[in-house]
Amino acid sequence: MSALIPDRSLITRKRLRTALLGLLILLALVLGRIIDEGIPRTFEPLRPFERHAALDEVVSLRWGEVRVTSVTAAPQIEGIIGVSTTPELWLVVELEATPRWDASTVQWVQIRDGADRIFTRGRGQLGCTRTNPGVTTGCVVSFEVSAEHLAGARLTVGHAVSDERADDVAVIDLQIAQDQVDRWLDVDEPLVLPTPRSVGAGSAQPGDRPDDGTDNGPAKGPDDDAAGLP
Amino acid sequence: MARLQAPLEATRAYVRGRTIRDVVLGAFLAVVLISGLFGGWDAAEREVAIANVAETIEAAPLEVTVLGAATSTDLDSSDFSDPEGRYIVVVADLTSDQVRSIPALETVHVARLHGVPGVFRPYASSDIPPERVAPRLAFARDGSMLRDIGPGLTYRTWLVWEQRPGAPEPSEVTVGIYGMTYRASSIDGSQGWFDPTLISEVTVPVTGTISGPDPTGDGWPAPGGRP
């Protein structure tokens, strides 16, 4: 029995301190792991604020107002460098933007199709001139898109250059129907890309607030669950 | 017999005087050294699938179908100036079945030319080994540079490499097709496609020359292998 009891001379103060230090390191590692696992790993905290609207409706955002004025598509477009073709369709959207506070403009756009697939512009363009507060500018945006699920597509419009995270974005239903998509697919002539035009004074004024009265709350929409980044 | 026992005894005495950690470490080193006699130190063999021309290869985030290869000294596209030597153009269909567009910076990892001398990247600040030179991707129907590839779209694509003047014109090229992994960036946590890994190799005969875009998109490969 006495063999099981360690010799008291082996339990020195130095060894006790070393053991305690080892234990503290282990506890710190466990605590670090628990904290690490508790921190959200998604971009949910950076989810954009969304304001849902439809074609021809004015959407009031933190930085200004936007309104989609027209939507069209064709298999080919003709711009300043000539005719460009695409595997399926070029989607061309015209919109107006009026900054409220600073000289700025729309800097980021995407398409969410009817199946919630996300399209960047591909080889398309974002033609949108920066204007002074209160002055409306016309923008032309083109996208390379798949015709499948294009019905029900929405345009997202943002102000941040790189992406939509933590931005206030407009999600605009382009009101595209399947029969319209079918007609666009049959267009033989290249679609002439419109030139972005200046429009003049808009209604966005400093001090105006977005329509829902909240300047920083996420707007709710029917497809709100699809809004966050993965 | 006594001669044999003496070294054994000496070894036993030596081992008895060592700590357990020293003994385990010594045994481990002995195993590592001895494994070299049985090929343990040989380079691991790459297990790469060999694919055929016109066979679709799953190389996430894309599906790649290599259709043919040709050379060119004038692609008749404003995105490609006349080459110093010649262009080597691999024609392939690239399809995305992802749920969001694949950034152009990530699609360039899809292929590399293996074993073709003289392939280089113009204006590169340093010499890059030919097998590491990324292609420039262009849409074969209008010759413009490809950018992000959207979901559900298939692009007939030129994968274009430039070969130095004087380098021998290849009669066939081996194209390595690379897949990637969708994961969070270790730098900023954002999701993206990383870690290109060789998935498959396709050996393609180099037939004919390409002199410009093919607006119909159906011109490759024509009977006889010429575009």
Taking CB atoms and an 8 Å cutoff, what residues of chain B touch A42? none
* pLDDT at residue number B109: 96
Q: Which of B139, B153, B214 to mutate to test the interface with A (most CBs of A within 10 A)?
A: B153
- Strands in A149-226 per DSSP E: 154-158, 168-173, 191-192, 198-201
Task: Give, in order, the Cα–Cα distances in Å from A107 to each of A128, A213, B91, B153.
Answer: 8, 24, 34, 25
For residue A223, pLDDT beyond 70? no
pLDDT tens digit string along A64-91? 999 999 999 999 999 988 899 999 999 9
Between B30 and A163, the higher pLDDT residue:
B30
Task: Give, in order, the Cα–Cα distances in Å from B47 to each of A140, B61, B178, B198, B201.
Answer: 49, 20, 13, 9, 11
Give how far A121 is from chain B: nearest CA, Å.
Answer: 7
DSSP character for B133?
A: P
Q: Does B24 touch chain A (CB under 8 A)?
A: no
Mean of the pLDDT values across residues A16-22?
92
The pTM assigned to this predicted structure is 0.78
Q: Which residues of B9-35 are buried (b: 16+ CB within 10 A; e: fewer)?
A: eeeeeeeeeeeeeeeeeeeeeeeeeee
Considering chain A, what is the average pLDDT of its residues? Answer: 84
Q: Does B117 touch chain A (CB under 8 A)?
A: no
From the list A118, A121, A143, which residue is nearest B99 (CB)?
A118
* pLDDT at residue number A38: 85
Task: Evaluate whether A113 touches A149 at the Cβ level (below 8 Å).
Answer: yes
For residue B222, pLDDT beyond 60? no
Q: Does A43 touch chain B (CB under 8 A)?
A: yes
Between A147 and A208, the higher pLDDT residue:
A147
- Interface subset of B 33-92, CB within 8 angstroms of A: 78
How far is residue B27's CA from residue B8's CA, in Å, rounded to a whole number?
16
Both tokens of B88, joined, read 């080597």
How many Cβ atoms sit within 10 Å of the Cβ of residue B201? 18
Residue whose pair of structure tokens reads 């011109």 in the numeric block: B219
Q: Which of A64-73, B18-27, B92-101, B145-154 has the lowest mean pLDDT?
A: B18-27
Mean of the pLDDT values across residues A31-50?
82
* pLDDT at residue number A209: 53
From the list B145, B148, B150, which residue is nearest A146 (CB)?
B150
Could you tell me the pLDDT band of residue A160, with boundaries at 50, 70 and 90? confident
Q: Does B183 touch chain A (CB under 8 A)?
A: no
* pLDDT at residue number A216: 36
* pLDDT at residue number A205: 61
Residue B108: alpha-carbon gap to chain centroid: 10
Between B93 and B5, the higher pLDDT residue:
B93
DSSP, collapsed to helix, strand or coil, labels residue B184 as strand
Question: Of A209, A228, A230, A204, which Cα lies nearest the Cα of A49?
Answer: A228
* pLDDT at residue number A99: 95
For residue B225, pLDDT beyond 60? no
Burial class of B213 by CB neighbour count within 10 A (0 to 12, 13 to 18, 19+): buried
Q: Does A224 touch chain B (CB under 8 A)?
A: no
pLDDT tens digit string along B37-87? 888 888 877 778 999 999 999 999 999 999 999 999 999 998 999 999 999
Could you tell me the pLDDT band of residue A13, with boundaries at 50, 70 and 90? confident
User: With an 8 Å Cβ cutoff, are B99 and A116 in contact?
Assistant: yes
* pLDDT at residue number B131: 92
Q: Does A130 touch chain B (CB under 8 A)?
A: no
DSSP, collapsed to helix, strand or coil, labels residue A95 as strand
Between A114 and B226, the higher pLDDT residue:
A114
Mean of the pLDDT values across residues A189-212?
71
Mean of the pLDDT values across residues B187-196?
87
For residue B223, pLDDT beyond 50? no
Question: Of B68, B83, B226, which Cα lies nearest the Cα of B166?
Answer: B83
* pLDDT at residue number B43: 82
Taking CB atoms and an 8 Å cutoff, what residues of chain B touch A145? 150
Could you tell me the pLDDT band of residue A230, with boundaries at 50, 70 and 90? very low
User: With an 8 Å Cβ cutoff, are A144 and B141 in contact?
Assistant: no
Could you tell me the pLDDT band of residue A172, with boundaries at 50, 70 and 90? very high
pLDDT tens digit string along A87-108? 999 999 999 999 999 999 999 9
Between B6 and A168, the higher pLDDT residue:
A168
Q: Does A203 touch chain B (CB under 8 A)?
A: no
Question: Of B110, B123, B127, B122, which Cα lies nearest the Cα of B162?
Answer: B122
Task: Evaluate whether B146 touches B107 at the Cβ level (below 8 Å).
Answer: yes
From the list B101, B142, B146, which residue is nearest A119 (CB)?
B101
